[in-house]
Structure 1
Amino acid sequence: MQIGALPSYLAPAVSSLPVRPVASAAVSPDLTRAAQAPATPSPALGDEQAASAREEADRSPSTQSASKQGEAEPSPQQQRLEQLQIAELATRDREVRAHEQAHAAVGGSYAGAPSYTYSHGPDGQRYAVAGEVSIDTSAVAGDPQATLSKMEIVVRAALAPAEPSAQDLRVAAQAQAQMLQARAELAELRLSEAAEGQTERAQPSEAAESAQQGDDPEASRQPPRSSAADLDLYRRTAELPSSAPLIDLLG
């Protein structure tokens, strides 16, 4: 419920206007015009100036941002340079990945997974600019044949890319040196195995001969002949007189 009297009404204050003096014949027209001129600018003119000032202030940020955008936008020449740089990085990325994947594919279990070094292009993307693949070049202990087979794979893996690097060539040379050493060890091993085989074959033949002599009773009763005894018998025979009968030395 609303209680109260009628709302009070305040009458607007009457603005005082400058009183124009009555011109007299003794007063100069210039002084009359100066007295009639307003002492302060009219409110309408001040409002127009304030509005124009606000419009200029509102337009200034947009104008500044537009000028900044114009300055940030790259020139056509700079855009072409960035496109060329992106194309070079993309080509390098493909070459590096193909190179390292060739190592890993041929190396098999002796090669590790490829790892890459990246660079950011003007477009904000990452591009591989270098890479590596670890590979096992150690010899197989106690097995030169397995070492030889392993080093053959290592050499093929090192030379698998279309354009092997200097490091690839060094790895291949190291593996080839391991192959030479493995071949030498394998040759020595085969020679020792051949000598052992000959010794094993000679022992059964000697045992067979001794067994055969043991089965022959006459051979066992017959004493072995001595070359020294035969020579002494020849000397004694030579000293006999010529009329003596010849002795058959064949026994």
Structure 2
Amino acid sequence: MQIGSATSYPAPAATSLPARLLASNVSPDVSPDITRAAQAPVTAAQPLADEQSASAREEADKPADASANPAKAQSREGQPSPQQQRLEQLEIAKLVSRDQEVRTHEQAHAAVGGRYAGAPSYTYERGPDGKRYAVGGEVGIDTSPIPNDPEATLRKMEVVIRAALAPAEPSAQDRQVAAQAQAQMAEARVELAQQQRSEVAAAREARAEQRKETEEEKPAEEEKSSAPVQQDQPPPPSLVLYRQLSGLPAPAPVVDLLV
């Protein structure tokens, strides 16, 4: 008889109490096989219960780990997790915004600087999508003065200052370039003032020399005006004609008769 076989009888896991001895309470008329059938399930229940509880714990642990760490579960499969995708999208949006800001900044320098500004150059960074985004840039601006022409230097430095401060938010480097241009303007003003003083002094000297020459010429003219002026006398009249007329005979009287 296989009634008491442990393989076909699932004993409950709650039977933690020691097995009761039924042999003393069984009637002598009961078969020993029946006694063993009653006792076998109690003694074999403990290993089977341990095995079932262990397998239940393993099954419970597996879905808990997968649900708690979905990123790790998907990373094992070679695909980015939703959290990683969100992070990449945020990084790309940040790079796009930075690219637009940098390009607008540098193009403002170049547009206002005109012939004194160079072409913009950029520093790029590759994003998670494989594209390159500008994260830095610069524009060369000529801040050198124009030799021997302070007025032209002043006009140039005014353009340089406007170009350096053209962006909506000038950087520290932009403000430094504007400060250098202002220093050049101060030097040009000093040079212009010196040049103007030199021109005024030269004009004063020229007027003084002209006045001196005028004063030297005036006495000579006065001496010429005080000297006697000899006027040319006309030649005496010729008497030859009178003599010829006096030698002619007297004309005969003529009488005109009117009829």
Inter-CA distance 205–87: structure 2 relative to 1 (3 Å threshold): same
How far is 1:139 from its partner? Answer: 1.2
CA distance in 1, matches of 2:224, 2:179: 70
- How high is the TM-score relative to the length of structure 2? 0.56
| Aligned counterparts, 1:48-197, within 5 A | 71-197=77-203
Structure 2, gaps ≥5 residues long: 1-72, 227-259
Residue 82 of structure 1: SS of its match in structure 2? helix
Range moving further from structure 2, 183-192 or 78-87: 78-87
Q: Who wins on radius of gyration, i.e. which is larger?
A: 2
How far is 1:180 from its partner? Answer: 0.3
CA distance in 1, matches of 2:219, 2:114: 63
How far is 1:73 from its partner? Answer: 2.0
Match in the other structure for 1:206:
212
State the Cα deviation string for residues 22-62 of structure 1 (Å, max 9, x = none). xxxxxxxxxxxxxxxxxxxxxxxxxxxxxxxxxxxxxxxxx
CA distance in 1, matches of 2:75, 2:105: 43
How far is 1:144 from its partner? Answer: 1.2
Q: Are the counterparts in 2 of residues 213 and 219 from structure 1 also a CA contact under 8 Å?
A: no
Inter-CA distance 162–68: structure 2 relative to 1 (3 Å threshold): closer
Q: Are the counterparts in 1 of residues 121 and 137 from structure 2 also a CA contact under 8 Å?
A: yes
Q: Are the counterparts in 1 of residues 74 and 80 from structure 2 also a CA contact under 8 Å?
A: no
State the Cα deviation string for residues 62-105 of structure 1 (Å, max 9, x = none). xxxxx989722222221111111111000000000000011111
Match in the other structure for 2:231:
none
CA distance in 1, matches of 2:202, 2:161: 34
Q: Are the counterparts in 2 of residues 144 and 186 from structure 1 also a CA contact under 8 Å?
A: yes
Q: Are the counterparts in 1 of residues 75 and 81 from structure 2 also a CA contact under 8 Å?
A: no
Inter-CA distance 75–164: structure 2 relative to 1 (3 Å threshold): same
CA RMSD of aligned residues (A): 2.2
Residue 146 of structure 2: SS of its match in structure 1? coil
| Aligned counterparts, 1:201-240, within 5 A | 201-217=207-223
How far is 1:208 from its partner? Answer: 1.4
- How high is the TM-score relative to the length of structure 1? 0.58
Match in the other structure for 1:246:
none
Identity in percent: 63
Match in the other structure for 2:255:
none
Structure 1, gaps ≥5 residues long: 1-66, 221-251
How far is 1:217 from its partner? Answer: 3.2
Residue 216 of structure 1: SS of its match in structure 2? helix
CA distance in 2, matches of 1:185, 1:133: 29
Residue 77 of structure 2: SS of its match in structure 1? helix
CA distance in 2, matches of 1:214, 1:185: 45
